[in-house]
Amino acid sequence: MLTETILEDEGWLALDLPALAERGAVSTLEHLGLSPETFEIAILGCDDDRIAELNGDFRGKPQPTNVLSWPEEDLAPETEGEPPDLPQPEEAPHFLGDIAIARETCLREAAEERIPAEEHVLHLVVHGVLHLLGYDHVRDGDATLMERREVEILGTLGLPDPYSRGRA
């Protein structure tokens, strides 16, 4: 199994975060030509209070956000708009990093967009896994590349382009 999911907020049980996390992470790695069996990712299903605490501790922004990622290694490219050098581990399992997802924020955003919560969670998992792999959206060229990858991966899952609705 690629993902290990820790549920601090039991409300995640109704959405089956472990299954959504595995599906989104596997789809992301496979789309990028990586073997999911070679990697591990830890996913924390938490509430808004916990993610606000994490956001404050690690980003200096003590407010809730939808998803946070902590890559095990920095894979980001130096040149804007270039894809990252994806890991090619010699030993398995290779730990990619940690992702935290806040349930209340996810549910609120999904309701605002009038989309199924599961669809939004899948998008956030894909987004988080791409961050672990060195994708980012700080520079314009990198954001364009990351969004394109997200849309491609979500398409393989049968989901529409989330950016055509204006959400991130």
CB atoms within 10 A of CB 111: 11
69, β-bridge pairs: 99
Question: What per-residue string of b and e applies to 23-51 under the rule 16 or more CB within 10 Å gives b?
Answer: bbbbbbbebbebebebbbbbbbbbbbebb
Does the annotation place 131 within a ligand binding site? yes
Long-range contacts of 145-149 (CB under 8 A, 24+ apart): 145/81, 145/82, 145/83, 149/31, 149/32
CA distance 136 to 92: 25
| First-to-last C-alpha distance (Å) of the chain | 28
Does the annotation place 127 within a ligand binding site? yes
63 and 77 Cβ atoms separated by less than 8 Å: no
Task: Output the known binding site.
Answer: 127, 131, 137
Task: Output the known binding site for Zn(2+).
Answer: 127, 131, 137
